[in-house]
Amino acid sequence: MKKNILLAGVGGQGILSIAAVMDLAAIESGLQIKQAEVHGMSQRGGAVQSHLRISDATIYSDLIPEREAHLILSVEPMEALRYLPWLAEDGVIVSSIDPVRNIPDYPDMEKIAEAIRKAAPHILVNAEALALQAGSSRMANMIVLGAASPWTGLEPGALEKAVRTLFGPKGCEIVDMNIAAFRTGRGLSEKGSGLKAAATAKTTERQRV
């Protein structure tokens, strides 16, 4: 088992919480992990990524080589595209469709969605709206994690247990909301409405999950 996962987003969106859930689940499952993350000034509203590698054998490099990420998991659609050089030929993209427009030249959202559709098999998730239904827009990251979870190499039970461990100190209510968000996301990829093949000249998939 070997999974290379590139986590992407904008500083403050909670990608390190997503990483922490997967880290805990992997460790508890007896797997090795290396998770390189960004600290410091670039966290403030800037593009943030984390390289997460999970394996049952020794992991050497903390960084994923180019074209070797099995999954790009992004909580912001344009940020999903920033890391395409790392995506493996058979890699998938799971991304939220909620843009963070904190720059003056944010591109047209439809063009971004189109580029993701062309790039790889994908799930585009209406994460913020679904998170609101699950209790709070702050859970958007758990919606995306849930949707991406089948490609992490980790069991949903192990991931849920990790959510409980991570958010436990914040109280039962927060834990339950995060679990609900995770399950909503997971449902999206389980109920056949999940992965859309990369658009070819013939097929253009316009429907959003």
Partner 1 sequence: MRNHLLLGAEAIGAAALDAGISGVYAYPGTPSTEITEFIQRSPETVHNAVRSSWSANEKTALEAALGMSFAGKRSLCCMKHVGLNVAADAFINAAITGVNGGLVIAVADDPSMHSSQNEQDSRIYGKFAMIPVLEPATQQELYDTTVEAFALSEELRLPVLLRLTTRLSHSRCGIRRLSARKQNELQPESDPKRFVLIPSNARRQYDKLLDLQPELAARSESSHLNRLIEGAEKSGIVAFGVAFNYVMEVIQAHGLSKPVLRIGQYPLPEKMLRRFIETCETVLVAEDGYPVAEEYIRGLAGNPKVHGRLDGALPRSGELNADLIAEALGIRREKAPEVLSIVADRPPELCKGCGHRDMFEAISAVMNNQANHQVFSDIGCYTLGALPPFNAIHSCVDMGAAVTMAKGAADAGMTPAVAVIGDSTFTHSGITGLLDAVNDRNAVTVIIADNTTTAMTGGQASAATGRLQHICEGIGVEKEHIRTLVPLKKNLEHNITVLREEIAHEGVSVVIFLRECVEIAQRRLRSAKQQKRNPVKTAS
Chosen residue from 39, 90, 191, 192 binding partner 1 by CB under 8 A: 39
Residue 176, interface with partner 1 (CB under 8 A)?
no
Total residues in contact with partner 1, by rule CB under 8 A:
49
Residue closer to partner 1 (CB basis): 78 or 140: 78
Residue 190 Cβ, how far from partner 1 at the closest point, in Å?
28
The answer to the question of residue 79 lying near partner 1 (CB under 8 A) is: yes
> For residues 74 and 124, is the Cβ–Cβ distance under 8 A?
no
- Residue 78 or 131: the one with the smaller Cβ distance to partner 1 is 78
Cβ-based nearer residue to partner 1, 36 or 132: 36
Q: Which of 14, 17, 38, 135 binds partner 1 (CB under 8 A)?
A: 38
47 binds partner 1 (CB under 8 A): yes
The only residue of 1, 136, 157, 170 in contact with partner 1, by rule CB under 8 A: 170
Dist. CA 82–CA 95, nearest whole Å: 12
CB 196 within 8 A of CB 121: yes
- Interface with partner 1 includes 155 (CB under 8 A)? no
Give Cα 35 distance to the centre of its chain: 14
Closest CB to partner 1 among 28 and 190?
28
Q: How many CB atoms lie within 10 A of CB 173?
A: 10
Rounded to 10 degrees, what is the CA torsion of 68, 101, 134, 36? 30
- Residue 86, interface with partner 1 (CB under 8 A)? yes
Which member of 1, 66, 136, 200 binds partner 1 (CB under 8 A)?
66
By CB under 8 A, residue 112 contacts partner 1: yes
Which of 84, 130 has the CB closer to partner 1?
A: 84
**Chain residues that interact with partner 1, rule: CB under 8 A:** 10-11, 19-20, 23-24, 27, 32-47, 59-63, 65-67, 78-79, 81-82, 84-86, 102-103, 105-107, 111-112, 115, 169-171
